[in-house]
Amino acid sequence: MKALGYHVMLELFDCDREILNDVNKIEEHMIYAAKKAGATIISSSFHHFSPQGVSGVVVIAESHLAIHTWPEYGYAAVDVFTCGNTVDTFTAYRYLKEKFCAQIVKSYEMNRGELYGNNIVSKAQELHVEKLEFEEKELEKRGKENA
């Protein structure tokens, strides 16, 4: 089995609230995290919300790093999505954890675009997707009947 990409989703808790509201610092940290991890930076875009919070993305040749912050809760959600095997996602993770002064980190990891055989999704996974679509249609149908 081969995957096209690797996705690490981080939840950073009890972070430095001032940093989480500083769009320039966040962009600086996200760009440096990408560089430190060995990524090739294409561009970046960051936005400061009023009254607080920052969202942004660093587009890399290997995919992206993204962040959304809630300074009022000391919380940041970070995605590190990479393709290939040249970027060390955990170097980026460790760097960001340190720079945002996160006291608690939850992480979720997943392979993206898993390929089987000749780029065909396994029958078991295909059936799972069809089952979800069927269940969704059934719920919608029942909702209309009960209306």
Residue ranges of domains in the chain: 2-115, 116-147
Helix (H), strand (E), coil (C) string for 47-76: EECCCCCEEEEEEECCEEEEEEEEHHHCEE
Residues 38-78: pLDDT tens digits?
A: 999 999 999 999 999 999 999 999 999 999 999 999 999 99
Q: What is the mean pLDDT of residues 125-141?
A: 62
Residues found in the chain: 147
d(CA 44, CA 24): 12
Q: Looking at residue 68, what is its pLDDT? A: 98
Taking 90 as the threshold, does the pLDDT of residue 114 lie above it?
no
Mean pLDDT is lowest, of 7-11, 120-124, 141-145, for: 120-124
d(CA 15, CA 101): 5
Residue 34: band (very low, low, confident or very high) from pLDDT cuts 50, 70, 90:
very high
Q: Looking at residue 128, what is its pLDDT? A: 54
Per the prediction, the chain carries an average pLDDT of: 88
Q: For residue 21, which phi and psi values (nearest 5 degrees)?
A: -110, 5
Residue 118: band (very low, low, confident or very high) from pLDDT cuts 50, 70, 90:
low
d(CA 53, CA 48): 6
CATH of domain 2-115: 3.60.90.10
Quote the percentage of the chain above a pLDDT of 70: 84
Active-site residue list: 63, 68, 83
Q: Looking at residue 116, what is its pLDDT? A: 65
